[in-house]
Amino acid sequence: MIEFITSALMLLGAIGVIVQHYPRWKKYHDPEDRYWIYAGVLTILTVIYFFVTKHVITITPENVTFLIWSRRVLITVAFLAWLVLGYRRYILRNWLRVMTPDQLAELKDNATLRKRNGVTIYKANKLVGLPALLIPALLVIPVLNAEVPLENRLIGLGIFLVITVAIVVVPFGARLEVGDNHVATYLFGFSTMPKIYRSDIQVIVYRNLFHGGLGAGKGISFRALIRGRSKAYSIGEAMYGKEAITHARRVLS
């Protein structure tokens, strides 16, 4: 059951990534979008391998060890490749871009937003990640009833718990900075989106962040010219609220 749910989530996520980035790549030919597509295709191939080894190949005492470890290694490689392909620039650049102590102290302020020197800091909605708590809750019964060793069941449940905790904790450190002529985002003091100025904007639209909504709601999606390269970014109302998005849209438009 855990493998089925994992495969389903991987497949849906991969399809979503390809659907989101393929039209952008066709229009702008941005290598970043192409790398996301590669990551999505790799994930789909991983799911296909899971299906084949589960329902097509006959498991015998001679090949059971190989199949189990090959699946574990493949999912690890696919996950790491997805991180490297999709977030390679974020890992190489943004992790090293730490805010100044004054900026970090300002982000830790308990106010919903704070204005200073013409800059407004919006805090994220701390409840936006709570629906993720349903993931481990829905998995408890299948995990307890699964006909697999207890160790494997606990490992699978532990992975989902770690993912859930990450989703729930992120809003507590997310901040949106809106200045007189720029917009930026931070996560626990680290830059997740560099300062985008009005002069950098190539196109900006207000719409559903995902096709059909997918629970993410509306927000602004825009492309900006950063260091000579066109980059795509999105900021959602579900995370920061309609007032913050309206403010950011007004500054960048």
79 and 199 fall within a common domain: no
pTM of the model: 0.54
Mean pLDDT of 30-42: 76
Q: What residue numbers bound the domain in which 178 lies?
A: 98-125+172-252
Give the pLDDT confidence of 193-210 residue by residue, as tens digits.
989 999 999 999 998 887
Q: Mean pLDDT over residues 163-167, rounded?
A: 78
* CA pair distance 91, 185, nearest whole angstrom: 16
Task: Name the more confident of 247 and 34.
Answer: 247
Average pLDDT over residues 156-164: 73
The tens digit of pLDDT for each residue in 215-231 reads 567 889 999 988 888 88
- Domain assignment present for residue 137? The answer is no
Those residues whose C-beta lies under 8 Å from the C-beta of residue 154, and which sit 6 or more positions away, are: 143
* Cα 165 off chain centre by: 14
38 within domain boundaries = yes
Burial of 240 (0-12, 13-18, 19+ CB in 10 A): buried
Q: What is the CATH number of the domain that holds 108?
A: 2.30.29
The rounded mean pLDDT for the chain is 75
The mean pLDDT of 106-135, rounded to a whole number, is 66
Residue 178: the pLDDT is 92
Tell me, yes or no, whether 19 lies in a domain. yes
What pLDDT does 28 receive?
A: 72
Is the pLDDT assigned to residue 213 strictly greater than 50? no
Judged against a pLDDT cut of 70, whether residue 89 lies above it is answered with no
Q: What does the alpha-carbon distance between residue 250 and residue 253 come to, in Å, rounded to a whole number?
A: 5
53-67 pLDDT per residue, tens: 777 777 777 777 777
**Rounded Cα gap, residues 251 and 227, in angstroms:** 20
Do 86 and 184 have their domain in common?
no
Q: Are residues 55 and 112 in the same domain?
A: no
Report the DSSP pairing between strands 229-236 and 218-226: antiparallel
Of 72, 92, 112, which one is at a domain's C-terminal end?
92
Query: In this structure, is residue 149 part of a structural domain?
Result: no
Q: Are residues 118 and 181 in the same domain?
A: yes
Domain end: 92, 113, 147, which one? 92
108 & 217 share domain: yes
pLDDT tens-place string over residues 100-114: 445 445 444 433 445
Per-residue pLDDT at 81: 67
Q: Are residues 74 and 120 in the same domain?
A: no
106 and 45 share one domain = no
In this structure, are 5 and 106 located in the same domain?
no
Domain shared by 57 and 121, yes or no: no
| Domains of the chain: total | 2
Please report the pLDDT score of residue 143 as a whole number. 60
> What's the pLDDT band for 19 if we cut at 50, 70, 90?
confident
pLDDT for the residue 201? 92
Whether 158 is covered by a domain: the verdict is no
Q: What is the pLDDT of residue 109?
A: 45
Report yes or no on 162 lying in a domain. Answer: no
**pLDDT at site 107:** 45
The sign one gets for the Cα dihedral 213, 215, 219, 220 is: negative
Torsion on CA atoms 233, 118, 180, 200, rounded to nearest 10:
-50
Pairing of strands 174-178, 119-123: antiparallel
